[in-house]
Structures are given as structure tokens and as C-alpha cells.
Amino acid sequence: MPHVAKTSYIILTSLAVLASTAPAQQASRALTFEDFAAVRHVSDPQISPDGRSILYALRTTDVEANRRVTHTMLAPVAGAGSARRFPNDTTRATEARWSPDGSRVAYVAGGQLWVSDARGGNARRVTDLAGGASGLMWAPTGTHLAFVSTVTPGCADDACNRAAEKAREQNKVKAYVADRLLYRHWTAWDTGTRSHLFVVNVDGTGLRDLTAGARYDVPVPPFGGSEQYAWSPDGRELAYTAKEATRDEAWSTDVNVYVVPITGGAPRVITAANKGADQNPVYTPNGLFIAYASQERAGFESDRWRLMFYHRHTGESREALTGWDRSAEGYFFSADNRTLFVVTQDHGRDKLFRFRMDGMGGPKAELLIGDQNNTQFTISKTGNVIAWVRDAAHRPHEVWTATIGDRGVIGTRRLTHHNDSLIARVRLHPLDEMWSRGALGDSVHSFVLRPPQWEAGKKFPTLLLIHGGPQGAWLDTWHSRWNYQMLAAPGYGLVIVNPRGSTGYGQAFLDSVTKNWGDEVYADLMHALDAALARNAWMDSTRLGATGGSYGGYMTNWIAGHTDRFDALVTHAGVFNLEAMYGATEELWFTEWEFGGPWWDSTAMATQYRRYSPHLFVKNFKTPMLVIHGELDYRVPYTEGLSLFTALQRQGVPSRLLVYPDEGHWILKPQNQRLWWSEVQGWFGRYLKGGAVP
């Protein structure tokens, strides 16, 4: 963190509130929901082994049909050739992956694996499984594919899986029965099925469930993907991530890395000594080590992800990158085994760093790619061409490419231009940055966004944005839900704060939110807002709103009981009653770590549950509040929103409730999102601009 003198209230690192506007920003109108929905989402770039071609996913939204559709695109890396659908115009292919020699492509279509030649011709189906196939990965030999499929663990073959699935669908009784915790997770109840790791020959023969009979999932739900398993360089072994279905599964974070030969046999755990989480194995190209991410503290889901190296001959693990105070969120190696690449969050952006493998004891981090936000890296087999997805608050996701050399990256350029015409029609300001004094005299990083209607000399109402987690961060990104430009579109300035607990600012800063949800984070936010108002004369301090989701919803609820400086609040999926939340949420490791134990622990009760619960301060609530929740939200059960709305109505506080029966913690369906934006913008418009709720 940069040093901030105690006498200095704010340090500005990049604030460009000037009357002049860049030529690319001369479009006069604000972003609408129709524009927002029309953005084409680019993701999952896969560069060919020779670095000449790239496959990537392109997702479009049909609001009226209430769905999103993804296709795979194929484009040349160099030259003026245009992208085309792969394998053809009519097939909806996803997860396309090049074979090691680049002559073939495997992909998913209709829920099954297919393989074609490099141009998309001669396609043939490889699997036909009741549980489908996804997460495909080529063996380095080019002879096998690894993938995952949904099974009933007691079944020995696919016929049994089909019969079990048919029986579940036809059963007139839809009740759930549970005899242990984690009986539901994220948005789904446990119906007894599991995701297992399979291998198959490229010609479709030799199908094998490598985790047959296992009561655990590969990958680990709810968000795990193919990053959770990997092939050994010789193609004889797979390493994967799994969490045993033990009695303490709901309050333990003990996820492990296993290895299993592709010929079958009992999987072997290689990380049993560590009781924190271990995940995402990657073999070094020479086959000597398995790299994986590891959290040292058991029970803490937001501990720093250390990069560990497991020696395949000695069985010993050691930490790499010692002294580097960032999490290894993604990592890969150069083919010659000399270079390690690590992706991590750093000061509000995802960045790519490079380390020399001969300096692992005391490494020096070399920033390779850090401008705007950068994710989903893919490197050619030759090691000199890299592609990735880049976005920013004022630019949707597109594929970028560059050449890697000893001195860094050169020739950086944007490969795709799917959103150029749309962006040219609307006025989108980039984020400005600032640092302000934190609650303990430390530094807090924030972004500031001007409204599209900004003009020098005019004043605009301002919204404070509070992120979830609490171990999370606002990034300089084109958010698919909490989109900054959509929040600013009606004419609001935004103060987007990363208070203590935020990722990308060191582990000590992140740790300081645990058992401290209310006081100092609240002070960080208020100091940052005060600093932004003092620095930006165009912000109207008499017209303020605040909003956030999850922990951001919790803090919005906390704000309602601790200040009346805001004119309107919007709380989404926010925690309201800590005791009730503990009893109904699914991942108990989170609440027990954050609050020091269950609510019947007398110390936890006195210092946390009865101190930091927003429902204890309801008598102070006066600010008009919009409450939003999804009934399928099992992380923060929707009864939290109902209880909050009841308290607001009972006390006569202006309030409105929006509940989605078909959404969870996130609002994802296009028409539901349209209503979400209408309600949020309408609520702030009513109280900050004197408008009417739609």
C-alpha cells in the first residue's frame, strides 16, 4: 500500500476531471438497457499451438426470448481475415480446444463431446452420455480427452444413470430429505447426483470414470471448472481437485488435490497434510512438479492463495513466490520450463506477472500486462504468442494478443471488435482513481466515475457503491450485473470504494475485515465518500444514494442504522439478521470464520452477532430503501430481505420489495435484469431527482 501522511486527507493518483473529452468519447447519449443487453460478451480464447489462429466464445442476448446464446468463433491472429463461426454457421459449439498438434479441435455441442479437423470439417461425436459432457481437455499425447459428466454414484454404467435420472423426473414426490448439512448449495438442492472425471479415447472408445463410486464432485461446486484438473506431460496421469463428503463438509474448507492414472485405480491425495483448501493443479512441463494453489488457514475461504510445488518423486511440497503478498489466482508455464506466469488482482485490476523459474526462492515479480483488466490468458506452444481477454469500465470484453520476449510484451493489439459500433454510439467515461485516508490512518483505494451528462460547472447526484464478499473488490471492468455505466446513465456520479477486506491490496488489509464487519469498513467508506465530494465540485453532497449486494447489501443495511446522510438506499441480497443468517445459509465455514463461531458461542454472540447485526439498529432506519432478493439464494436466504422489508414497513419507512422466485444470489435472466435496472434507476430517480418509480 502507498504511504499516506496523516496530515494529508487524500492522495489522487489519476483524476482527470477536465472540461475536454477524448475524441472517442464524443457520443452524446447515455447507455440504455437495450445497449447493455446488446453487448456481445467475448470469452474463453484458445490460441492454436502454432500461434496463428484463435478460437473464442461469443455470447449474445435475446431479451424478448429471455435467453443468451453462445457460439464459438475462429479467427486468424495476424492479417485482415475476419472471424467466422466454428465449426459452421448452424452448430452451437462451446469449450473449443485445439489438439496438441493443432490438427483437430474438440468441442461441446448438444451437451456431448465432438471432434473435428482444424477448420471444422469431418466432425464426429465422441460421447453419448446421460449426464452430458463438459470441461474437455486434450491429453498432451493427443490420444485421449478428459471431461466431466453427471452421474449417480451408485451406478456402474450409463444405462443405470439414465434409469436413475428418468426415475427422478417421473417421481410425483418432489420432497427433499437430508441427514447432514450442505444439503443445498448456491441455487440447487442435493438430489444425489455428482460430477465425475472421465477419460475417453479420441475415437470414442475406452470410456472410463476415473472417480467411479466417489461421493464427491469433480470439479468442486458451485463454481469449479476445468481449471481444477490437469494432465501430466506424458498423458498417463490426471491431477484433480475434490472435497470429500465428510460430516464437517459444511464448515470445513479442506479441499484437496488428487492424482489418478488414466488406466484406473484408486485416486491418491497429495495434499492431506494441509487442512486448508488446495486446488487447481498444473504440471510443470518437465513433469517434475505439480503446481497448485493452497490456503494455509483451515476454515478461511479468503486466505491468500499460495503457489505450492509438489515434488512428484519425493512427495514434498514447498511454497514458491515466498514474500509476494498476492494470491496466485491463475498460473501457467512456458514450454521450456524457464518461466512462470501468474494472474492476480492488484489495485483494482487483474494483471499478469512473470517470474523466472531459477529465482523461485526469492522471486522478483515482473509486471507483463496490467493496463485495464486482463483475464483468461492462453499461450501458444511456441511460447512467443499470447492472447487474453481485456475489458474496462468503459470498454466491454474483447480478445487481445501480443508477442512475448525477454524484455516483456510487444505488439499488443486488439484482435476482436465485436462491440465497437455500439460503444461509438454512447458516451462512456473511463474510471478515475483516488486514494483516501482509511479508518486506521492507512490508505483506501477508490474509483470515481463521471456521469455521461457531465459538464464543467454542473452538479450531479452521487451514488456510493459497496462491493460484496466482504473479501472482494470493485475492478476496472465491464460488469455484467453491477455495471457502472448503467448506474451512472441517468446522471449520477459514482464513488466506487475498495475498503478494508478488499482483495488485491495485501493479505493484512483483507484480513482486517474479519470479526469487524461494521465499524472500520463503514469509516473507510464514509472517509472515501467525503474525500470524493471534497475533490469533485461537480458532486452534489445534498443528493446522495448508496447501494450494494451481498456484503454490500449488508453494509447498506448497516448504513441505514448509522446515518441519515443518504437520500435513498438500494440493498440487494443483503444480510440483515446475523443469527438468522447463520441458521439458514449453507457454507458455515464462512459465517464461523467471520464471526468467530456459531451464535450459541457466548464470545461470538457478544462480540459479533449482537454487535454487528443490522437488525439491532432498525429503530434508527429512516432512509427510503429498495430491497431486492432472489428466492433461490441459498447463500443469503431471501428471508433476510423479507425480514428487512417487514421492519421498514412496520416503522413507516418508505420502502419497496422486489423478489425473484426464479433467481439466486445473482439476477441473471435478461428480462429479470431489465426489471432490476428499471427498479434501481427508478428508486434513485424518485429520491435523488424527484422522479417517479416505474
CA 42 to chain centre: 15
| Number of CB atoms found within 10 A of residue 69's CB | 11
Give the span between the Cα atoms of 238 and 135, in whole angstroms.
14
pLDDT digits (tens, 9 = 90+) for 462-503: 999 999 999 999 999 999 999 999 999 999 999 999 999 999
Q: What's the confidence (pLDDT) of residue 17?
A: 32
User: Is residue 679 helix, strand or coil?
Assistant: helix
Quote the cell numbers at residue 180.
Answer: 447432514
Confidence bin at 27 (pLDDT 50/70/90): low
Q: What's the confidence (pLDDT) of residue 80?
A: 62
pLDDT digits (tens, 9 = 90+) for 422-453: 999 999 999 999 999 999 999 999 999 999 99
Residues 588 and 185: beta-carbon distance below 8 Å: no
pLDDT digits (tens, 9 = 90+) for 362-396: 568 899 999 999 999 999 998 899 999 999 999 99
Confidence bin at 125 (pLDDT 50/70/90): very high
Give the span between the Cα atoms of 638 and 63, in whole angstroms.
25
pLDDT digits (tens, 9 = 90+) for 397-421: 999 999 999 889 999 999 999 999 9
Confidence bin at 693 (pLDDT 50/70/90): low
Domain coordinates of the chain in residue numbers? Answer: 43-125, 423-577+613-688
Q: What's the confidence (pLDDT) of residue 383?
A: 87
Counting residues of the chain whose pLDDT is more than 70, the rounded percentage is 95
Give the span between the Cα atoms of 322 and 312, in whole angstroms.
21
Q: What's the confidence (pLDDT) of residue 364?
A: 80
pLDDT digits (tens, 9 = 90+) for 614-636: 999 999 999 999 999 999 999 99
Phi first, then psi: give them for residue 151, nearest 5 degrees: -135, 165
Task: Using the Cα atoms of residue 356, residue 258, residue 377 and residue 367 in order, give the sign of their dihedral.
Answer: negative
pLDDT over 60 (residue 253)? yes
**Integer angstrom CA distances of residue 198 from 1, 100, 134, 252:** 45, 19, 10, 27
Average pLDDT, the chain: 94
Give the span between the Cα atoms of 676 and 197, in whole angstroms.
38
pLDDT over 70 (residue 12)? no
pLDDT over 80 (residue 523)? yes
pTM above threshold 0.85: yes
| Number of CB atoms found within 10 A of residue 171's CB | 9
Between the CA atoms of 158, 163, 164 and 169, what dihedral angle is there, to the nearest 10 degrees? Answer: 130
Please compute the mean of the pLDDT values over residues 79-108 and round it to a whole number: 94
| Number of CB atoms found within 10 A of residue 620's CB | 13
pLDDT over 70 (residue 16)? no
Counting residues of the chain whose pLDDT is more than 90, the rounded percentage is 92
Q: What's the confidence (pLDDT) of residue 363?
A: 60
Helix axis angle for 519-535 and 551-560, nearest 10°, is 80
What is the widest separation between alpha-carbon atoms in the chain? 73
Q: What's the confidence (pLDDT) of residue 19?
A: 32
Concatenated DSSP letters for 494-556?
EEEEE-TT-TTS-HHHHHTTTT-TTHHHHHHHHHHHHHHHHH-TTEEEEEEEEEEETHHHHHH
DSSP class of 23? G
CA 199 to chain centre: 28
| Number of CB atoms found within 10 A of residue 42's CB | 24
pLDDT over 90 (residue 546)? yes
CA 511 to chain centre: 20
Confidence bin at 25 (pLDDT 50/70/90): very low
User: Is residue 15 helix, strand or coil?
Assistant: coil
Give the span between the Cα atoms of 626 and 654, in whole angstroms.
9
Residues 37 and 61: beta-carbon distance below 8 Å: yes
Please compute the mean of the pLDDT values over residues 536-545 and round it to a whole number: 98
Confidence bin at 691 (pLDDT 50/70/90): confident
Relative to beta strand 41-47, strand 53-62 is antiparallel
Give the span between the Cα atoms of 188 and 203, in whole angstroms.
35
Confidence bin at 79 (pLDDT 50/70/90): confident
Q: What's the confidence (pLDDT) of residue 7?
A: 31
Q: What's the confidence (pLDDT) of residue 491?
A: 97
CATH of the domain spanning 423-577+613-688: 3.40.50.1820
Please compute the mean of the pLDDT values over residues 335-357 and round it to a whole number: 95
Concatenated DSSP letters for 149-212?
EEE-TT-SSHHHHHHHHHHHHH-S------SSS-SEETTEE--S-EEEEEEEETTS-S-EETTT
